[in-house]
């Protein structure tokens, strides 16, 4: 055998072995500025061992102010993060890492982020004190963070260059029926879809949440019933990496066949690409993506055009409410109806300041009220609150009210405004899917033959009276609201018969608290009267009346006065 040929063959095998083991740089990031997150994409052609080199700020001194990690592009799972890497060297402010991990063939994304806030990690009092001490005297963070970097090398792969929002959005939109991602500050988005049959869907949503409330909101609404069927909530979410307030939901939800809208609402800070604390591990996915859990269900799910029911099916609109306003509107339901209530108002510390409520027009009993515990964040400042749900109302007539206090309202916000600025107030929508309003009509209490007397919206220094006649002995309902202190009434009502004798009077002991200031009093009672003529009186003093409140108004402001109605 020719020895020279044997030698050449052996040399070729050795060189091939050396080449096959050579690691090629697939991704490299450096020069990230404060408050930014950069990303590079790369692909592994086969299962192999990957080498990662990084320089990061010391976590024991600066928390998560700088962090690096790798995502699997398809599963969106974190496959490596710098905090878990092997340290090879350190300085007073940085740590050098060198790590090796085994990864499957596929596409990946390398990230490096530097938060503007150095207090963004999980710390106790002692670690925070240590960070303060070690960071004292640091005047130019640019000189420190310019050395931060991360490199990924592997024998068999390719660099896909800078990882862009568009690329990630395309990945997330694959097989999705709705994908709203890369959401920025103060944005609102919605996408609708139809399911031809019952199925499980995967919901992947990321937003800013804390235990005390949501700053970014994501939810699914059944367009046929108007009901919220899923919502991104703190207790049903998990850490999304980075700052504690980054939360995510990535799980399946069972939905019935029908039409749905996925909605996402962000506040005025901490979203893609401007995170004010450490970003989540999947920062460009900030938003919501919905896809069938099983690919076999794709043929039974499809996106549809989104027609905002707030514009299409609304039958009451008390919106664009300004300071110190009270408005009301009546409606009649010919049959029991599901009504979607969309109300935006001001509330904090478990109390509402701008709010709506609905009363039965005959009895004036409250059938629904906007309570803080039933609201969610409406964007902007946390005190902007949103109620969006469906309420079942019986056939009958109703009056919708909305009242505001003296600050923070439409076009006069004293803190960041909600996203739904022009919806500040209350909107009622037919929640029957097809927007059929044929069973809903307007209601005017002055045209209601069952209301015998109505004196409302009483002002200061008023003396008002109305008369009514009963053709037979019967019972009447009385509802009155007025001012009373120290066991005496200042604004009150009474009823006299044809002889001028008082048959009923609103006394303090007959009343109970009407909400707001303690002096707001109300009475709701039944009175048996003989056939005959009667006169109803209402009198007020010189202060604290409708729209002239010198203390917190009652819950039912528009009823400051008296109503007498036939109840049999």
Encode pLDDT of 249-276 as tens digits: 999 999 999 999 999 988 888 999 989 8
The CATH number fitting domain 309-443, selected from 2.60.120, 2.40.50, 3.40.50, 2.60.40: 2.60.120
| DSSP per-residue string spanning 250-312 | EEEEEE-SEEEEEEEE--SSSBTTB-SSPPPSSGGG-EEEEEESSGGGGGGEEEE----HHHH
Q: What is the CATH number of domain 21-163?
A: 2.60.120
- What is the structure's pLDDT at 186? 85
- What is the structure's pLDDT at 240? 96
What's the full length of the chain, in residues?
A: 568
Per-residue pLDDT at 406 exceeds 60: yes
- pTM confidence score: 0.71
Residue keyed to tokens 């309420």 = 391
Cα dist from 310 to 70, 203, 343, 380, 402, whole Å? 42, 24, 11, 20, 17
Across 444-472, average pLDDT: 94
- The rounded distance, in Å, linking the Cα atoms of 137 and 60 is 17
3-class DSSP assignment, residue 5: helix
- What is the structure's pLDDT at 120? 45
**Percent above pLDDT 90 for the chain:** 65
Per-residue pLDDT at 57 exceeds 70: yes
Dig out the tokens for 457 from the structure: 């919206």
Least confident stretch, 162-166, 284-288, 321-325: 321-325
> Which helix (H) or strand (E) is 227 found in, with range?
none
- What is the structure's pLDDT at 524? 92
- What is the structure's pLDDT at 427? 96
- Backbone phi, then psi, for 456, in 5-degree steps? -135, 170
CB 404 within 8 A of CB 367: no
- What is the structure's pLDDT at 151? 97
Dig out the tokens for 94 from the structure: 């940085």
- What is the structure's pLDDT at 501? 97
- What is the structure's pLDDT at 365? 86
CB atoms within 10 A of CB 234: 14
Higher pLDDT, 417 or 205: 205
Dig out the tokens for 87 from the structure: 């340290």
Give the model confidence (pLDDT) of 7-31 as tens digits: 444 443 343 344 445 789 999 999 8
Give the model confidence (pLDDT) of 484-509 as tens digits: 998 999 999 999 999 999 999 999 99
3-class DSSP assignment, residue 443: strand
> Which helix (H) or strand (E) is 135 found in, with range?
helix 125-135
When the pLDDT of each residue in the chain is averaged and rounded to a whole number, the result is 88
| DSSP per-residue string spanning 143-207 | HHHTT-EEEEEESSEEEEEE--HHHHHHHHHTT-SEEE-S--TT-EEEEEEEESS-EEEEEEEEE
**Domain 167-304: which topology?**
Jelly Rolls (2.60.120)
Higher pLDDT, 119 or 144: 144
Q: What is the DSSP letter of 555?
A: S
- Backbone phi, then psi, for 7, in 5-degree steps? -65, -40
Domain ranges in the chain? 21-163, 167-304, 309-443, 449-566
Cα dist from 337 to 152, 357, 436, whole Å? 60, 17, 11
Question: Same fold for the domain at 21-163 and the one at 167-304?
Answer: yes
Per-residue pLDDT at 124 exceeds 70: no
- What is the structure's pLDDT at 21? 53
Provide the b/e sequence for 208-225 (b: ≥16 CB within 10 Å).
bbeeeebbbbbbbbbbbb
- What is the structure's pLDDT at 547? 86
Per-residue pLDDT at 149 exceeds 50: yes
Residue keyed to tokens 């300041």 = 353
Q: What is the DSSP letter of 543?
A: S
> Which helix (H) or strand (E) is 20 found in, with range?
helix 3-20
Give the model's confidence band at 434: pLDDT under 50 very low, under 70 low, under 90 confident, else very high: low
Helices and strands per DSSP (H, E), number in the chain = 6, 42
Give the model's confidence band at 35: pLDDT under 50 very low, under 70 low, under 90 confident, else very high: confident
CB 398 within 8 A of CB 334: no
CATH architecture of 449-566: Sandwich (2.60)
Residues 6 or more apart whose CB falls under 8 angstroms from that of 294 comprise 199, 200
CA 501 to chain centroid, in Å, comes to: 57
Across 311-323, average pLDDT: 91
- What is the structure's pLDDT at 136? 41
Across 141-154, average pLDDT: 86
């Amino acid at each position: 055998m020719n020895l020279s040929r044997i030698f050449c063959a052996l040399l070729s095998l050795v060189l091939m072995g050396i080449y096959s083991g050579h690691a090629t740089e697939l991704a490299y990031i450096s020069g990230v500025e404060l408050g930014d997150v950069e990303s590079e994409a790369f692909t592994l052609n086969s299962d192999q061992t990957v080498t990662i080199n990084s320089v990061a700020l010391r976590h024991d001194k600066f928390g998560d102010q700088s962090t690096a990690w790798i995502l699997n592009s398809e599963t969106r799972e974190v496959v490596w993060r710098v905090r878990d890497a092997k340290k090879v060297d350190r300085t007073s402010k940085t740590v050098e890492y060198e790590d090796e991990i085994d990864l499957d063939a596929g596409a990946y994304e390398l990230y490096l982020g530097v938060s503007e806030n150095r207090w963004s990690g999980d710390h106790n009092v002692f670690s925070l004190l240590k960070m303060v001490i070690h960071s004292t005297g640091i005047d130019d963070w640019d000189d420190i963070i310019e050395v931060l970097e991360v490199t990924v090398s592997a024998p068999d792969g390719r660099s896909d260059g800078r990882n862009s929002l568009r690329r990630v959005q395309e990945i997330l939109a694959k097989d999705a029926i709705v994908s709203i991602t890369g959401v920025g500050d103060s944005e609102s988005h919605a996408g609708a879809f139809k399911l031809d049959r019952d199925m499980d869907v995967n919901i992947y949503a990321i937003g800013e949440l804390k235990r005390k409330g949501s700053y970014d909101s994501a939810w699914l609404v059944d367009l046929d019933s108007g009901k919220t069927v899923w919502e991104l909530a703190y207790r049903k979410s998990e850490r999304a990496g980075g700052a504690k307030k980054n939360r995510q939901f990535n799980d399946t939800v069972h939905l019935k066949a029908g039409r749905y809208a996925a909605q996402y609402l962000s506040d005025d800070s901490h979203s893609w690409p401007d995170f004010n604390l450490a970003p989540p591990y999947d920062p460009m996915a900030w938003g919501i993506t919905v896809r069938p859990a099983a690919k076999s269900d794709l043929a039974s799910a499809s996106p549809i055009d989104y027609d905002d029911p707030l514009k299409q099916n609304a039958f009451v609109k008390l919106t664009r409410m300004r300071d110190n306003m009270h408005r009301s509107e009546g409606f009649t339901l010919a049959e029991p109806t599901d009504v979607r209530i969309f109300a935006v108002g001001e509330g904090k510390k478990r109390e509402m300041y701008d709010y709506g409520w609905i009363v039965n027009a005959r009895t004036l009993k409250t059938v629904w009220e906007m309570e803080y515990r039933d609201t969610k964040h409406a964007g902007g400042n946390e005190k902007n609150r949103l109620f969006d749900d469906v309420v079942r109302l019986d056939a009958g007539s109703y009056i919708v009210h909305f009242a505001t206090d003296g600050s923070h309202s439409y076009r006069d916000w004293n803190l960041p405004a909600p996203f739904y600025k022009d919806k500040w107030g209350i909107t009622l929508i037919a929640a029957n899917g097809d927007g059929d309003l044929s069973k809903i009509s307007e209601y005017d209490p002055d045209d209601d033959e069952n209301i015998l007397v109505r004196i409302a919206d009483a002002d200061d220094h008023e003396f008002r009276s109305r008369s009514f006649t009963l053709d037979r002995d019967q019972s009447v309902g009385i509802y009155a609201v007025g001012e009373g202190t120290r066991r005496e009434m200042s604004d009150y009502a009474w009823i006299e018969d044809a002889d001028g004798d008082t048959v009923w009077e609103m006394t303090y002991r007959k009343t109970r608290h009407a909400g707001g200031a303690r002096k707001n009093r109300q009475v709701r009672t039944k009175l048996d009267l003989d056939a005959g003529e009667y006169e109803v009186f209402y009198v007020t003093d010189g202060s604290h009346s409708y729209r002239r409140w010198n203390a917190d108004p009652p819950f039912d402001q528009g009823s400051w006065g008296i109503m007498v109605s036939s109840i049999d």
